[in-house]
Structures are given as C-alpha cells and as structure tokens.
A and B are shown apart, each in its own frame.
Chain A
Amino acid sequence: MKRPDLEAKISNFLSPLVIAGAGGFLVVIALLPKIAEMIRTQLQSALSPTWASVVNIALGVGATVFLLAQLPIFLIWFERKVAAHVQDRLGPMRVGWHGVLQSFADGIKLLFKEDIIPEGADRPLFRIAPVLVIMGAFAAFAVVPWGHGLIISDLNIGLLYIVAITSLGAIGILMAGWASNNKYSLYGGMRSAAQLVAYEIPTALVILVVVIQVGSLSLQDVIASQSDGLWGENRWLLTRMYGLNLIAFVIFFICGLAETNRNPFDIPEAESELVAGFHTEYSGMRFAFFFLAEYGAMWLVAGVAAILFLGGWVGPYFSGPLVFFLKTLFLVFVQMWLRWTLPRLRVDQLLALCWKYLIPITLAVLVAVAGLSVQAS
C-alpha cells in the first residue's frame, strides 16, 4: 500500500536515527567502564575529593535516570514485537522501519491526552498514586551495579533496601484503586495489595538463601562471590548447591512476576474482568506513569535475578555492563514470553500458590542451603 509522502519521508528519516541511537546506546554501555574511569580521573584532578564524589554520584544518578527513561521506549516496542510473533502475526510495522518509532508515537499521544479526574475521586490521592508507584520501581536502581564500580551507592544493606523500596509500589496501587471512586478500581487495588504483600515473603526468603551463601547484603559483594564465571570455586550461584539454587531462582522469578503484576499474576489489572483494574480511571501522562513503572519494575526484577543468580556483570567470557544488559534483557524476554502464553490465575489460587506452596518450598530450600553452607565451612 502506497503511503502518503510526508509519512514516508518522516519514517525514512527518523527510523535510521532511532536504530543508530539504539546501537550507539549499546556501544556506550559496552564502553561504560572506560568512560566512567575517564570521567572519574578528570574529576579527581579538577576538584576536591568531596566535590568529585558528589559530581560523580550526580552523574551516576543522571545516567541511571536517563537509562530508565530510554528503556521503556525500547521495551514497549520489544514487548509488542514479542507478543505479535508469539501470536503468529507481525506487530507494528508501519510506524517507522518495523515499527521502531511506535513507542515515540505512543508517548507523544499520551502527552496530548486530556487529563481526566473522575468527579467523586479523591484528588490528592489520585495525583500522588502514580508517583509512589514509579518511585517504588525506579528508586531501587540506586543500588543496582552495572559494572565494577558502576553503582550509584554501594549500600551494605543493598538487598534489604530493594525489598523495602519495592513495597512502596503496593501503597501506590492501593491508593490508585481507592482514589478512583470506581468499584472496579477498588477491586483491582484490593487484589493487588493482597498479592504484593503476600509475594514479598518468598522474595525475601530467596534473598536470604543468596545471602547465606554470599555472607553480605551488598550487591557488589554478591557479584564478587560469583567472579569466576561458569566454572570454578566462585562460579555463578545458579549452578551451585546441587540444584537448590536453581529452585530458588525459579521461585524468585515467579515472585518477581507477581510483584510486577504481570501475567499469569495480572489479576489487579485483569483486562477481561475489571476493564483495567486499578488504573481504569487514569488517562494520559498519569497512565503513562503506571506503564513506565511496570516496565521499570520488570527490568528491576530481571536485573536483580541476574545479579543474584547469574553473576550480574560477570560473564562467562567477558565482563562489563553489556553482559549485565544482555542477561537482564533475556530475563525480560522470558517474562514477556510467559505473559503471552499462560492464562491468568484467579486471586484465591494466586494467594494459595504463595502461602501454601511457595513459602514452604522456600523455607525448605533455605534450611537445606543453610545446612550445606554450615557443612562446607
């Protein structure tokens, strides 16, 4: 079908730019250690130590925020393509070369949408809810390491911090459900609160499994204890402990899916039952916030799983941020794959799965790993 001229011109002009931008992005990520080293030496030679570290951290925060703003653009396109190919169709093809401009188009559309707040809604809560949800997802990236020394703040309680901050999302969702003055949203919010609170327990227990083997809550230490790659004394945690860690990894992944409200656990936003669950009444940029928070949380769960069990930025052959990026991308792809394959669990089945199956299994794994660790030392 012949496309109108202007549309074709814009597409032919912007698509190569976007693809080149993505490529450049990957190059920057691959070369990130060298760039960071250069910046660090420059700052240390130019400013006093305190100021140097302040500027360093500020740049780190800026880079992380920039990355987290760009990632959903790519992830939305990626999800739509994965969904399409799983469903035996092509996905976005018209907006840019193979649909690469689709996320930009959607973002611009959302910016222009009318901001509707329902009549009986609780206005302050309605406005704060998306902010809390996005905070819960993005603030956790402060302790996620991208490479050796490429971390905003290497807290020695890093894992505890992540678990605590992601709980904020639950409050945000509950607020959104209540403040919308809509029975469907209320259902979505209630279900989500129950689900998130329940699934934090197996998450924390699995993190304990890792902490027992590593001896520290800091994420850089977790990676340092997997520094040998796939073979050796300090190999990836996934391959240790005779398969117990594999069980722990699978459980962590399942809990991560539940924490981010992804299918098969997307009861709170169950499209076919509750229209759109807790974000039914949100439109425009507020809805975009929930969307961004979901992709950010997806990336966080995948990233933390990669760090805890797959060695983070330590790869089998070469190390660096690119390795971390690829591992996380693969786990995100698995999350999307599961979403478009499996049906949805009903809320009582979901909670039964957590309380009756996951927690006992995780406790058993914890006891076994603790026993094996004591025996080894």
Chain B
Amino acid sequence: MSLKAGEIQARLEAKFPGTIVLAQLEAIDPFLVVDQGALLEMGLSLRDDPELAFDTLHCLSAVDYLKEDRIEIVYHLSSLKHRHWIVLKVHLPRVDPKIPTVEKIWPTANWHEREAYDLFGVVFSGHSDPRRIFLPDDWAGHPMRKDWVWPEEWHGIAVKPGKQFAERASEGETLGVGPFD
C-alpha cells in the first residue's frame, strides 16, 4: 500500500521523536532532513518495517553547498513492494565530514559511498573498503568540491584544463543563450 510522504514522516516521528530536523513535503520530491546519529536505526526501521519496506537505496549522492557551508548526503529510497519513495538528507560540515555507513542495511551503498568519498571527501565510518573508486589512489584532493583547485600536474602529466564556462561567464562573456535567440 503506497504511502504519502507525510504519512511516512508521521511514522518515523512516532518511532524516533526529535530526529527529523526539517521536513519539506511540498517540494517536487518531498524530503526529510534527519539527524546523523539516528541514521542507522532509522534506516533499519525503514527497511524492515513491513508497512514501509524501503528495500532499495536507489541513489546516494553528495551535494556541496559552499555558501551554506555544508555538505549534504542525499538518500533516495524506494520500495519495490509498496511503490513509494522518500528522500532523506543528512547535513555534514564541510571540514572533516564523517557519517556512519549504511552498507550493512543496503549493500548497494558500498560503491556509492566510495564514490562520495572519492569525489567529495566524506568519510563513511565502518565502511568495509574505504578506497577511492574512480581516481588513482594517490590523487590529491576531492574534485567535486566547489572550492577545489585544479592541480598543475600529476606524476608529470599536465592536468589543468582550459577555461570553463563559469570562469568565462564571470569574465563577462554571454552564456546560456539558447538556439532560438
């Protein structure tokens, strides 16, 4: 039986009172911002509760909000049985972000978390294989961060590319013009 986001929130608040920091149910994809400490228990409950049955972690993404000085980990959960969705978010500080791993609950999180570590520098405590996944193991830095600076070279190979759109836009070039203007 497919539940709405509000009902899911109500169930979670009943079980774990005070852990939902923020709830945005009118957004295009309704989401709940939860506390880091309650994440594991909430995840187990979301998966094992027969009425919620969130058996699939569809996507685990990290978003870097430079201006608000936080990194968000976004969990898109879905249920094959009941066909409903919920989005959970956890806010982490940008400096030294740490969060417990959910790979014991949803094994698919293993590689997603390795990607978040590789590209954003988020450390997932308790992870079975905390290695970089895309970049070479001795790469310095985490490229998807907004304040990441291109290094000049790596092992003697020149790495830094030419000017990107953002830089050209800040220099006054008109961008974002569509094909019908």
The answer to A–B direct touch (Cβ < 8 A) is: no
- Interface of A toward B, CB cutoff 8 Å: none
